[in-house]
Amino acid sequence: MKQEVKMESAMGEALRNAMRHWTTGVAVLTGRAGEIQHGMTVNSFNSLSLDPPLVGVTLANTTRTRNLVEQSGVFGVTILAEDQADIADRFAGRIPEDEDRMAGIETFTLVSGVPLLTSGLVCLDCRVVQRYPMKNSTLYIAEVLSVHHNRPGQPLVYHNRVYHRLCDDRGKVNRK
């Protein structure tokens, strides 16, 4: 039994190291239940289907935001722009624990009432349609209720534990 735990732990670490080679976008996922609201930076977010419009995200079971999503069944996603690494850090918890991540952040709401960041590129308002509990996290599949484009720009991306900007047109890959 102990060997299985060690192998599981080693495989988890191997997967973590492998995923450092996978570049992702960066978003802030927000939740609200009653008057309580919270948000967190995520990169485990993706589009699953266009018809019906579905997205997926995995949240650690110990997070405040996940608890709000569980209570309300809704969440918001704000896709961050390349100039928003400070916002990503803030919602990743790189501020004092007693500081409110939402304080001073301008937000708006759409259909579900969850706060969405006005400064992001695009916001998605989502309603949970399926949950898949795992050992330490929960995978949520959600219907997109509304999409709001806030401003033009390039997305903030995350690769090998560092935020990056996309390169300009000179960096495009030519396809033959």
pLDDT in tens, 94-108: 877 777 899 999 999
Residue 1 lies in a domain: no
Residue 47 lies in a domain: yes
Identify the CATH number of the domain in which residue 106 sits: 2.30.110.10
Residue 56 lies in a domain: yes
DSSP string, 149-172: E----PBEEEETTEEEE---GGGP
What is the residue-averaged pLDDT of the chain?
A: 89
Q: Give this prediction's pTM.
A: 0.87
Residue 39 lies in a domain: yes
Instruction: Indicate whether 171 pLDDT > 70.
Output: no
What is the extent of the structural domain holding 78?
24-166
Residue 16 lies in a domain: no
Q: How many domains does the chain have?
A: 1
Residue 13 lies in a domain: no
Residue 121 lies in a domain: yes
pLDDT for res 7: 63
pLDDT band at 156 (very low <50, low <70, confident <90, very high): very high
Residue 107 lies in a domain: yes
